[in-house]
């Protein structure tokens, strides 16, 4: 799960760095009044954190 989050964030960062016009347009769209751009990066960070907690929990059970 943490690896998925890292890949998700890396893909986001590479796409933003390349500054593809269509990607910027897609991220500028709004979903219920909130720009998608403001949701994507925190979502990746939350996935990484959740994966880390999951890993720590499974390690504690051993």
* DSSP category for residue 19: T
The sign of the CA dihedral 51, 49, 32, 19 is negative
Q: Which residue has the tokens 């998700």?
A: 8
The sign of the CA dihedral 10, 8, 2, 46 is positive
Q: What is the pLDDT of residue 58?
A: 73
Residue range of the domain that includes 55: 2-60
- The pLDDT tens digits of the residues spanning 27-45 come to 778 878 888 778 877 888 8
Global confidence as pTM:
0.57
Question: Does 62 score more than 70 pLDDT?
Answer: no
* Domains: count for the chain: 1
Element (H, E) at 43: helix 37-60
Left if phi > 0, otherwise alpha if psi is -120 to 50, otherwise beta: which for 33? left
């Amino acid at each position: 799960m943490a690896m998925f989050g890292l890949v998700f964030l890396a893909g986001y960062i590479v796409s933003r760095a390349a500054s593809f016009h269509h990607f910027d347009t897609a991220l500028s769209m709004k979903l219920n009044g909130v720009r998608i751009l403001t949701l994507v990066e925190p979502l990746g960070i939350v996935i990484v954190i959740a994966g880390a907690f999951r890993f720590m929990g499974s390690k504690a059970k051993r």
